[in-house]
Structures are given as C-alpha cells and as structure tokens.
Amino acid sequence: MALAALGADAAIQAQGGKKDLERAEALLRTGDFAGTDAALSSAETKFSRARSEIIPYKILLPVPWIGRQVSATDDLLTSGIEATRAIRSAVGVLSEVLKVAGGDLGQLLPESGTFASLTPVQKREILAKLLSVGPSLREVREAILRSRAAFDHIPKTGLAAPLRLAIIPFGERLDILEGTLAPLAPLAEVLPRVAGYPVPRTHLFLLQNYTEIRPSGGFIGSFGIVKVADGDLVSFDTHDVYSLDNPATGRVAVKPPAPLAKYLGVKTWFFRDSNWSPDFRQAAEEAIRAYDREVAAARLNFPPVDSVIGMTPRVAEDLLRLVGPITVSGVTFTPENLVDELEYQVELGFLETGLPPAQRKEIQGELAGELLRRLTSLPVDRWPEILRILGDGLREKRIMIYDRDPSVQERYQAFDWAGRVKETSGDFLMVVDANLASLKTDAVVDRTIGYRIYPDESGALHGVATITYKNNGSFTWKTTRYRTYTRIYAPAGSRFLRGEGAMENDKILDPRRRPGTYDAEEELGKAVFGAFVSVEPGETRSLTFEYLLPDSIGDGVSGGRYTLLAEKQPGTSGHRLTLDLDFGKRVVRAAPPEDPREFGDARYRFVTDLRIDRQFVVGF
C-alpha cells in the first residue's frame, strides 16, 4: 500500500475510500442515486480521515527525501477528496435532471433510455432544468480544478515505488473525470441554446479539413445548415462549398488578403477561404459576411444563420469510436479510414458510381445523418462519453463556436470555447500555417516548433521562432509539394529583425528558388510576421523568424518573473514544441519544472506538444 510508510491508519482509511468509490460506480450504473451518494460520502470521509492521519508527519517536510513522500501523499489525498466531491455534486445534478425525464436512471436504461425516445415535453423540461442547475455544476467544475491543481503539485520524480504506482492509475482516472465533468457547467449553460431552447436556432457548420490546414482549423470544403427547436432536429443539410461560391462568381468582388491573392492566384475572397484569421470569432464573422453576401448575390435559397460552429473530422473519428462503423451508399466508414475514404469518395469515387459532380459530397450528409441518429439512440449511461468527446474537442480547438448574440458569445469566450487568440501581458507565441494549393498534404507533413530567447549585449531580449517541416509524402492525387504561408504571432511591440528560409514561390513557379520576403503587421493585439515556404516531397525545410521582444518582457525578467503563453493553432494535432530560453540570470523556479539535470543555470529548457495551449512561468 502506497501510504503504509506514512501510517497504517492512513493507509487503511485511504484503501477504504478507494473501495467506496468502486462501490459508488457500481451503484450508479444500477440507477441507485441514494446508494451512490452514501458511498461517495463515505469515500470522502475516509479520504479526509487519511489526510488527517498524516498531519503529524508534516513536521518531516524539510527532510529532503521523506518530506517529498509526505508532500506527495498529502497532495494525492487532497486531489482524491476534491475529485470525490466533484463526482458527488455531479451525481446529485444528474439525479435532478433525470427525474424530469421519468423518475430515475433505472427507468431510462438501457432500452428506453435514449435521447431519441424522449417526448418533446421531456426534452423541453430537461433543457429547462439544465439552464437552472448552472450554480451546482459550477461547483463541480471548481472541485475538479482543485483536484487537478493538487495532483499537478505532486513531484514527478524522487517518489517511493509504492507511492508512484498509486499515483499513475489515479492520474489516468482523473484525466477521464476532468474530461467528463469539467465541461458539465458550461455545457449546461449553453447546450439548451444550441439545442434551440427556448427559441429555435439555425447553425452554420464549417467542416474544416485538418489535412488541408487553414488558420482557424482547415479548408472549408463543405458546410452544413442545421435547424433545431426544443432539442429536436428540424433539418440538417450539408453542401459542397462550391454550391455557394460558384453561383456567386462574377457577382461579388471582395479583395482577398494579399497572401491568398499571391499564392492562390485568386482575385475574389470567397466563402471557402473566409477563415483566414486564426481567431475563430473573426473567422466566423467573416464567414457569415461571405455567406450572406454570396447568398444574396446569387439569390440562393439558404437561410440566415444565428451561429457558426467550426469542426474538424477528428471529432467525427472520436464519435465513430463510440458508435461503431457506419455504412452508407455501400461504403463503410471507421475511425481509422474516415478521412482518407471520405476524401477518396468525393474526389474520385463518385466518378466510378456515375454521380454528377454537384452530388459528389452527398455522402457526407448521409454519413452525418446516420451518425447523429446513432448518437441520439445511445442509452443514458453512454451520454458522459459523448460529453467527454465534446469537451476534449472544445479544449483542443477541434470544435469552436461563435454566436451573433453578444451575451451568448460572451459565455463561449468565458469557457474558452470560442477559439479566441488570447490577450496576455507576457511573452506570446502562436504559429499559424495556411496550406495554399497543396491538396491534402498536411496529413503527411511533420512539423516541429522551436522557440528560444536570448539577451543581446545591451540586455534586450530577442525571440527566435523556427518551424521545421518534413514532407513525408509523394506526388499523388491527394498529396504534393507543401506550400504554406506561415505567420508568427508575437507580443505587441515586437520588432522584426531578420529571417531565414522564406521563399518567393515554389520550384515550379520560381525555378531559381529565390529567397522570399517577410511581412510584418499588427493584428489581434499582436505583432505578426509572415513568410512563404515550399517543401518538396521527401524534403525538410526550416523557416526562422527573429525579432526584438518589447521592453515589457525584459522588465518582467528584471522584476523576477517571465511568462509565456504558447497557443495552439486550431485544427492542428499537437506539434512538438521545444523551448530554450536564455535569460542571462539564474532561474530559481519554473512551472512546469524542467528536468532536474537542467537546474541551476540561466536557461529554461522544456519539450512538450501543442495539443492544447501551454502556459509557462519562470521565476528568478
């Protein structure tokens, strides 16, 4: 037992709490809410007693190795207490909501316990109840955050084997809990509105293909119009983006951003290219403007929309893992083949079946309709899995939402679901790629991001961002040379100094392969530097930007604190990020901590990924 070395009584209490949690999970599956609450209450009590038992040992905290064990045990128990409180609160809210739908969980599981089986009255009552339980669910979210904070405080090295072995499975369970419970409060506030309660809504879905990356998530190859009212799907229609853009050709004349004009050769800014900003609010607003403009110009029978939801195929992949393979029009889609098979069907497969080009993407609508039918047919005990997938998608910017109603949009931004480029007073780094005429080559390109800073002779801090691209593809119907216009977002006031690797154009359009220029501008409260690079199949190239950071960053270091927010580009899978930050003065603390072997000098070195936004704090 991990706690045995710190007191037998504490170990016994902790083990008892663990068994109570397992019993609570089993009772919840049977719909016994009263029994579940009692088991959770008992678990919380036992974890609290165990934590009290180790208080006398805190006198040993200054002792190097033993103190680390005491501190880790205290943090682990604190995390367990808060996680148990979060589960207990969530179960209480779930009980209230399900009583509206029919009395208790047992009455809804498993045959009749589906969203599709609920009556219109039950759906409205559930949505109304969700709007009313916000305060209770906010406590769930806060408890999970406290649990995560305590767990993250546990040292990652220097722990006794039994304690280390206890921490690993708890961390895995906490990840699941956080993914499931943390989104509950914000979902309860916004889900009724998204579902068309208390007023009907029309959503514009942007299906953004991450294998052809664009600033806010991916190329908009298709879009959907979804009408909902009181939790019921009124209509769901998907369309090829060219069914909107082509009829508007020659009828609209909006000048595109300069890189689109130069590297795509387009003269008009169409709906398909509207997501040029990495800030989803700006991208969505531009998408609505383009949509409204083209619908009016071509007199198309598309309705006005209330909101925009951007989504990448990775969300559909996760949902397919939940519901299983789906076969439509004789084609079977799985999580593993979804993107490739769908791409093949809309680019080549439709020719084999004799479909006219205008109907080539109808298979997407069939697939989406069947996926939605299966999701709404899942029993209630599977709903948390849907919530976890949606929560992960929102957290990792695979789903982003914009609403024309400022009050609703404010909530999306508060929950960090709006895909905004964040404001920050410290250092900032965001790398934004735009695949320009490279087919679906992002699927075979590996990229890494390196960021270093160093003081010059005057003490001013320089930032150097290097992006390395390796094109693992070949020339096929869906992959080719990789052409990207890359932008670096840095703190406002940063001044571009020099760069390396920029190209005038690719080897076909510029056989001499001349060096390109670097653009500099201000946008979204940031300094923005941009350049073009082309990477042939089998080739590796790097693009480097060096700039002078504003004085405020150096002033922060002089004052004893440096912060960096490294923000993820929407739609990307999690590029490797390597930091090498030379401050010219000794680092005494950092979060997250670097490898102990790197302690004691003037540099902070860390390697991670950008699956989510990453925050770093260094003290001197």
Helix (H, G, I), strand (E, B) or coil at 239: strand
- If one counts the domains in the chain, the total is 3
- 46 close to 23: Cβ distance less than 8 angstroms: no
pLDDT of residue 188: 80
Looking at the structure, tell me whether residues 220 and 175 fall in a common domain: no
Beta-strand ranges (E) seen in 408-494 are 427-435, 445-455, 461-471, 482-491
pLDDT of residue 384: 78
ω into residue 198 within 30 of 0, thus cis? yes
Number of Cβ within 10 Å of residue 394's Cβ equals 22
Looking at the structure, tell me whether residues 205 and 280 fall in a common domain: yes
538 pLDDT exceeds 50?
Answer: yes
Structure tokens belonging to residue 280: 């989803």
| Nearest alpha-carbon partner for 416 in 433, 431, 404, 399 | 399
What average pLDDT score do residues 63-82 get? 88
| Nearest alpha-carbon partner for 397 in 371, 418, 424, 367 | 418
- Which tops the pLDDT comparison, 551 or 36? 551
The number of C-alpha atoms within 13 Å of 231 and in the hemisphere containing its C-beta is 18
Looking at the structure, tell me whether residues 119 and 211 fall in a common domain: no
In the DSSP assignment, the letter for residue 153 is: T
Q: Is residue 421 part of a domain?
A: no
Structure tokens belonging to residue 27: 């009772």
pLDDT of residue 329: 93
- 468 close to 501: Cβ distance less than 8 angstroms: no
Q: Is residue 202 part of a domain?
A: yes
Q: How far apart are CA 342 and CA 357, in angstroms?
A: 15
What are the residues facing 309 on neighbouring strands? Answer: 205, 401
Looking at the structure, tell me whether residues 246 and 302 fall in a common domain: yes
Q: How far apart are CA 177 and CA 42, in angstroms?
A: 19
Residues 6+ apart with CB under 8 A from 489: 278, 421, 428, 429, 430, 431, 432, 523, 524, 526, 527, 528, 567
Whose structure tokens read 């965001």?
A: 430
What average pLDDT score do residues 111-129 get? 79
Looking at the structure, tell me whether residues 146 and 29 fall in a common domain: yes
Structure tokens belonging to residue 62: 């200054």
Q: How far apart are CA 440 and CA 479, in angstroms?
A: 6
| Nearest alpha-carbon partner for 466 in 575, 339, 582 | 575
Report the Cα–Cα distance between both ends of the chain, in Å, rounded: 39
Q: Is residue 296 part of a domain?
A: yes
CATH code at 445? Answer: 2.60.40
Q: How far apart are CA 534 and CA 73, in angstroms?
A: 52
Q: Which H or E element spans position 589?
A: strand 589-591
Looking at the structure, tell me whether residues 344 and 218 fall in a common domain: yes
- Which tops the pLDDT comparison, 371 or 11? 371
Q: How far apart are CA 133 and CA 137, in angstroms?
A: 6
- 517 close to 263: Cβ distance less than 8 angstroms: no
pLDDT of residue 562: 98
pLDDT of residue 29: 66
Over residues 165-209, the pLDDT tens digits come to 888 888 887 887 777 777 777 778 888 999 999 999 999 999 999
Give the strand pairing for 461-471 and 540-548: antiparallel
Is the Cα dihedral 543, 549, 553, 558 positive or negative? positive
Is the Cα dihedral 172, 176, 177, 183 positive or negative? positive
Q: How far apart are CA 232 and CA 58, in angstroms?
A: 56
Q: Exposed, middle or buried: residue 330 (CB in 10 Å: 0-12, 13-18, 19+)? A: exposed
Helix (H, G, I), strand (E, B) or coil at 15: helix
CATH code at 361? Answer: 3.40.630
Looking at the structure, tell me whether residues 389 and 473 fall in a common domain: no
Question: What's CA 411's distance to the chain center, in Å?
Answer: 17
What average pLDDT score do residues 430-437 get? 98
Query: Which range (40-44, 216-220, 307-311) has the least confidence?
Result: 40-44
Looking at the structure, tell me whether residues 143 and 229 fall in a common domain: no
pLDDT of residue 412: 92
109 pLDDT exceeds 60?
Answer: no
Q: How far apart are CA 473 and CA 537, in angstroms?
A: 5
The alpha-helical segments, DSSP class H, found in 182-264 are 184-194, 242-248, 258-264
Q: Is residue 189 part of a domain?
A: no
Q: How far apart are CA 299 and CA 397, in angstroms?
A: 34
95-107: b (≥16 Cβ within 10 Å) or e: bebbebbbebbee
- 613 close to 620: Cβ distance less than 8 angstroms: no
Looking at the structure, tell me whether residues 504 and 614 fall in a common domain: yes
Angle at 199 between CA 195 and CA 203, to 5 degrees: 50
What average pLDDT score do residues 347-367 get? 91
Q: Is residue 611 part of a domain?
A: yes
- Which tops the pLDDT comparison, 70 or 396? 396
Binned at pLDDT 50, 70 and 90, residue 113 comes out as low
Helix (H, G, I), strand (E, B) or coil at 579: strand
Find which of 58-62, 166-170, 549-553 is predicted with most confidence, using mean pLDDT.
549-553
Whose structure tokens read 């991670």?
A: 608
- Which of 373, 389, 414 terminates a domain? The answer is 414
Q: How far is CA 444 from CA 334, 441, 506, in A?
A: 20, 6, 18
Q: Is residue 405 part of a domain?
A: yes
- Which of 149, 182, 215 terminates a domain? The answer is 182
Mean pLDDT over all residues of the chain?
Answer: 90
Output the DSSP codes for 487-525: EEEEETT-EEEEEE--BSS-TTT-TT--B---EEEEETT
Looking at the structure, tell me whether residues 431 and 559 fall in a common domain: yes
3-state class percentages of the chain: helix first, strand second, coil last, to nearest 5 = 45, 25, 30
Q: How far apart are CA 189 and CA 433, in angstroms?
A: 33
Over residues 290-325, the pLDDT tens digits come to 999 999 999 999 999 999 999 999 999 999 999 999
Domain housing 210: 194-414
Binned at pLDDT 50, 70 and 90, residue 98 comes out as low
Over residues 563-586, the pLDDT tens digits come to 999 999 999 999 999 999 999 999
Q: How far apart are CA 455 and CA 555, in angstroms?
A: 12
- Which of 159, 182, 205 terminates a domain? The answer is 182
Give the strand pairing for 427-435 and 561-567: parallel
In the DSSP assignment, the letter for residue 443 is: G
Q: Is residue 187 part of a domain?
A: no
pLDDT of residue 395: 92
- 137 close to 185: Cβ distance less than 8 angstroms: yes
In the DSSP assignment, the letter for residue 593 is: P
449 pLDDT exceeds 70?
Answer: yes
Over residues 486-537, the pLDDT tens digits come to 999 999 999 999 999 999 999 999 999 999 999 999 999 999 999 999 999 9
In the DSSP assignment, the letter for residue 114 is: B
Binned at pLDDT 50, 70 and 90, residue 105 comes out as very low
Q: Is residue 188 part of a domain?
A: no
Looking at the structure, tell me whether residues 279 and 154 fall in a common domain: no
476 pLDDT exceeds 70?
Answer: yes
pTM of the model: 0.84
What average pLDDT score do residues 590-618 get? 93
Looking at the structure, tell me whether residues 130 and 247 fall in a common domain: no
Q: How far apart are CA 217 and CA 278, in angstroms?
A: 8
Binned at pLDDT 50, 70 and 90, residue 31 comes out as low
Q: How far is CA 302 from CA 238, 285, 401, 405, in A?
A: 11, 17, 20, 20
ω into residue 592 within 30 of 0, thus cis? yes
